[in-house]
């Protein structure tokens, strides 16, 4: 009986019901310890054989998938998208048989009654003009800092707020982030912008509450990456997750980490799965990533390595016009970009999928490690690699001149947002939205989550198309702010015609804060969360804003203390001198002259010595 329990603890995916019934009956019914031991030694080989077959079949039909997609961007940038996905049945999840699903996150979702979760950690700015459309259509991207939205099951709004608070505090401890600061002033309830990504029955939807919170001031660092990797089955030790290094990730021009948990069900079937998707997207500068870690300071190119344009005239030998190398592809390798090569494949991942893919023309030269199988698609711009079971995987792309490059997908909308106006009392926000399509109009929802100290004047909301006042706004939802209780929520549904630009503006008033509500660096300003633009399944985030508020002189108490202390010291010194110092008349001052006192002391000391000497002589005569 004891060995069976030990094996059951070691192989957490195994179930005791898989063992033959005769084994269970014999081990439980045997009362003679000697006979039980002999029988157990006979059973052990069969037990190992059954567990080996079961683990092999489990690995073959694995519910864990991972893939790395590399896409060169222009100029001299590389987009690396790490995608990790695992599924577990809802029944097993409710029974806390998590399998590949991370137990730490699963128990938090169960305790907070969260049916769907979306968490984002983002840093940097996506350059849509040079990099094209966002990866995954922006659906796995968040605003600058931390963004969280979830569907919580509750009967009342108060109960939903309580469970939302429980969820944010638990996630704060799990991911070493400041999610516990998402209070009521930073929480909104979107109406038009977000829709459930998973499957929910009609009876469940009636009790689901959508809550959304942001922390634009949060700085993403390695403290958030470490717990992210611990949620993966291979923990960053094998597979594509072994390439994730904090030094490279947070040196990227733009990076985003996302976690999505959603239920998936087949129509007219009770077979429901709970899917968790973890994604890391980063845009790396190839030149900066290739610098050695011990000496990252950029150096000028040696004279002999300069590539000059020979078609231009030169008046001196030391003059050089750099040659335009836009047609040349940068040379790079996995070890140069990520610091080391890929440490084999994850043994728990699905073997039917290729774990590494690269989006380059088929004419591009790509060298990989021995034992790697290459697959090319029919589009002419994608190739994938099946990694060897053992050993490390390396990919090298030499410098090559290509006239054809992989096309970049054009974004559906270009968005810019900034502050307008001047002064410490009022201001304005301007959003410039451009539709680059020449044939199709774009319908979207524009959402703003503003802090309570930005008091919006709704009557100043205006939308102009190409500088003309037109009726662009189709629907609007507005929830005003309450001081120190709730922020402002603004959602606008609009339609932009083809080749048009919409300028959305509104004015606001800056509230006066209490001196205890200012951060330590009050003169820096207050971060305003990015706007969320939803175009069907595509999401776009604008950049965050930095709002300057009227700031009191925090050095005033210090100055008052110094001035008061100085005045008190002067007053105390004067009064102390008046009370302690002895005043005498001018004619009496000569008696207390220093010379007179010294002479008197000298004469008194001389008379004392004479008396002592006389007494000594009289004593000898006697």
Q: What is the mean pLDDT of each run of 10 residues along the chain (622 residues)?
A: 32 33 33 42 44 40 86 90 93 87 94 96 94 93 95 95 97 95 95 91 88 95 94 93 92 95 80 92 92 75 78 78 72 92 90 92 92 90 89 91 85 96 92 95 96 95 88 93 95 94 96 90 93 94 94 86 94 89 69 69 85 68 48
Residue 60: its pLDDT value, please? Answer: 38
Grouping H, G, I as helix, E, B as strand and the rest as coil, residue 507 is strand
Question: For position 434, which CATH number holds?
Answer: 2.60.40.740
User: Do 513 and 549 form a contact (C-beta atoms < 8 A)?
Assistant: yes
337/215 same-domain check: yes
Specify whether the backbone of 540 is left (phi greater than 0), alpha (psi in -120 to 50) or beta.
beta
One domain for residues 95 and 226: yes
In a domain, 573, yes or no: no
Give the closest residue to 387 by CA, choosing from 334, 352, 344. 344
Name the burial class of residue 573, with classes exposed (0-12), middle (13-18) and buried (19+) by CB atoms within 10 angstroms of its CB.
exposed
pTM higher than the cut 0.75 = yes
**Cβ atoms 196, 225 nearer than 8 A:** no
Distance in Å from the first CA to the final CA of the chain: 119
Residues 353 and 258 in one domain: yes
Instruction: Using DSSP bridges, classify how beta strands 254-265 and 367-368 pair: parallel, antiparallel or unpaired.
Output: unpaired
**So what's the pLDDT on residue 122?**
96
Does residue 74 share a domain with residue 29? no
Residue 63, SS3 per DSSP: coil
CA 397 → CA 72, 286, 367, distances in Å?
11, 12, 6
Q: What does the buried/exposed string (b/e) look like for 108-132 if buried means 16 or more CB atoms within 10 Å of the residue's CB?
A: bbeebbbbbbbbbbbbbebebeebb
DSSP-assigned letters across all residues of 187-216: EE--SSS---SS---HHHHTTEEEEEEEET
Co-location of 21 and 92 in the same domain: no
Q: Is residue 594 part of a domain?
A: no
CA distance 525 to 425: 14
Q: Is residue 171 part of a domain?
A: yes
Q: Which domain holds residue 499?
A: 414-547
Rounded CA-CA distance 102/84 in Å is: 12
Same domain, 124 and 230: yes
Helix/strand/coil for 385: strand
Same structural domain for residues 104 and 221?
Answer: yes
**Within-domain flag for 320:** no
DSSP 449-500: EE-TTEEEEEEEEEEEETTEE---EEEEEEE--BTTTB-EEEEEEEEE-TTE
Within a domain: residue 560? Answer: no
- The string of DSSP letters for 545-595 reads EEE------TTHHHHHHHHHHHHHHHHHHHHHHHHHSPP--TTTTTTT-HH
Q: Are residues 48 and 68 in the same domain?
A: no
Which residues, listed in sequence order, are joined to residue 445 by a DSSP beta bridge?
493, 534
Length of the chain: 622
Residues in a beta bridge with 479: 489
Q: What is the pLDDT of residue 2?
A: 33
Number of domains in the chain: 3
What CA–CA distance (Å, rounded) separates 373 from 407? Answer: 25
Could you identify the residue written with the tokens 């919580």?
Answer: 152
Of 547, 567, 598, the residue at which a domain comes to its end is: 547
Tokens of 448: 């703003």
d(CA 1, CA 254): 56
Instruction: Judge if 147 and 19 occupy the same domain.
Output: no
Extract the tokens encoding 476. 């609007």
Whole-angstrom Cα distance, residue 148 to residue 194? 12
β-sheet bridge partners, residue 282: 80, 255
CB atoms within 10 A of CB 552: 12
Same domain, 397 and 438: no
Residue listed under structure tokens 């900066």:
288
567 domain residue, yes or no: no
Domain boundary among 352, 378, 401: 401
Last residue of one domain, picked from the residues 345, 380, 401 = 401
- Structure tokens of 25? 């009956």
> Which segments of 251-346 does DSSP mark as H helices, in order?
286-289, 334-338
Same domain, 430 and 527: yes
Question: Which position has the token pair 């776009």?
Answer: 540
Written as one string, the DSSP assignment of 211-245 is EEEEETTPPP-HHHHHHHHHTSTTTTSSGGGGG--
Q: How far from 596 is each of 593, 601, 602, 603, CA to CA, in Å? A: 5, 9, 10, 11
pLDDT at 83: 97
The C-alpha atoms of residue 541 and residue 138 are separated, in whole angstroms, by: 8
Taking residue 392's Cβ as centre, other Cβ atoms within 10 Å add up to 15
Taking CA atoms, 260 is separated from 140, 144, 150, in Å, by 8, 18, 10
**C-alpha angle 62/66/71, rounded to 5°?**
155
Q: Which phi and psi angles does 325 have, rounded to 5°?
A: -110, 35
- Is residue 41 situated within a structural domain? yes
Q: Does 552 reside within a domain?
A: no
Whether residue 270 sits in one domain with residue 234: yes
pLDDT at 487: 95
């Amino acid at each position: 009986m004891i060995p069976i329990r030990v094996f059951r603890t070691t192989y957490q995916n195994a179930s005791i019901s898989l063992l033959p019934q005769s084994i269970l009956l014999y081990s439980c019914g045997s009362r003679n310890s000697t006979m039980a031991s002999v029988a157990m030694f006979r059973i052990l080989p069969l037990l190992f054989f059954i567990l080996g077959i079961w683990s092999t079949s489990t690995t073959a039909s694995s519910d864990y998938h991972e893939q790395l997609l590399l896409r060169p961007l222009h100029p001299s940038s590389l987009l690396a998208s790490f995608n990790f996905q695992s599924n577990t049945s809802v029944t097993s999840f409710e029974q806390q048989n998590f399998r590949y699903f991370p137990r730490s996150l699963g128990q938090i979702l169960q305790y907070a009654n969260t049916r769907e979760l979306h968490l984002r950690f983002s840093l940097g700015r996506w350059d849509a003009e040079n990099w094209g459309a966002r990866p995954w259509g922006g659906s796995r991207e968040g605003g600058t800092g931390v963004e969280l939205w979830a569907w919580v099951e509750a009967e009342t709004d108060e109960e939903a707020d309580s469970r939302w608070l429980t969820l944010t505090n638990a996630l704060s401890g799990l991911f070493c982030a400041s999610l516990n600061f998402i209070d009521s002033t930073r929480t909104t309830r979107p109406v038009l912008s977000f829709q459930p990504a998973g499957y929910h029955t009609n009876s469940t939807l009636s009790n689901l509450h959508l809550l959304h919170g942001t922390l634009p001031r949060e700085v993403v660092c390695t403290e958030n990456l470490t717990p992210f990797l611990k949620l993966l089955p291979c923990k960053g030790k094998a597979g594509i997750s072994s390439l994730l290094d904090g030094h490279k990730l947070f040196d990227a021009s733009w990076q985003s980490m996302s976690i999505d948990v959603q239920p998936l069900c087949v129509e007219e079937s009770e077979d429901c799965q709970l899917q968790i998707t973890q994604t890391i997207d980063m845009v790396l500068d190839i030149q900066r990533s290739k610098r050695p870690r011990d000496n990252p300071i950029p150096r000028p190119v040696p004279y002999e390595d300069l590539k000059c344009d020979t078609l231009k005239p030169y008046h001196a030998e030391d003059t050089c016009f750099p040659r335009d190398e836009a047609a040349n592809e940068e040379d790079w390798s996995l070890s140069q970009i990520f610091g080391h090569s890929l440490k084999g494949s994850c043994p728990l991942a699905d073997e039917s999928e290729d774990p590494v893919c690269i989006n380059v023309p088929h004419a591009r030269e790509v060298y990989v490690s021995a034992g790697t199988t290459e697959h090319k698609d029919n589009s002419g711009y994608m190739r994938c690699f099946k990694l060897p079971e053992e050993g490390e995987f390396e990919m090298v792309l030499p410098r090559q001149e290509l006239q054809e490059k992989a096309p970049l997908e054009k974004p559906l909308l270009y968005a810019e947002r900034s502050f307008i106006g001047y002064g410490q009392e009022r201001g304005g926000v301007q959003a410039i939205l451009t539709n680059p399509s020449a044939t199709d109009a774009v319908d979207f929802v524009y959402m703003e989550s503003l802090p309570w100290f930005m008091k919006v004047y709704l009557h100043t909301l205006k939308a102009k198309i190409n500088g003309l006042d037109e009726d662009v706004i189709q629907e609007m939802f507005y929830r005003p702010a309450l001081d120190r209780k709730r922020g402002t929520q603004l959602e606008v549904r609009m339609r932009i015609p083809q080749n048009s630009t919409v300028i959305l503006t509104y004015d606001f008033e800056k509230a006066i804060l209490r001196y205890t509500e200012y951060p330590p660096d009050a003169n820096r300003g207050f971060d305003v969360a990015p706007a969320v633009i939803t175009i069907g399944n595509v999401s776009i985030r604008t950049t965050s804003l930095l709002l300057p508020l009227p700031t009191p002189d925090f050095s005033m108490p210090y100055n008052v203390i110094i001035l008061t202390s100085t005045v008190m010291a002067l007053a105390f010194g004067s009064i102390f001198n008046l009370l302690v110092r002895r005043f005498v008349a001018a004619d009496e001052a000569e008696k207390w002259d220093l010379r007179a006192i010294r002479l008197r002391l000298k004469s008194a000391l001389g008379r004392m010595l004479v008396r002592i000497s006389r007494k000594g002589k009289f004593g000898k005569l006697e």
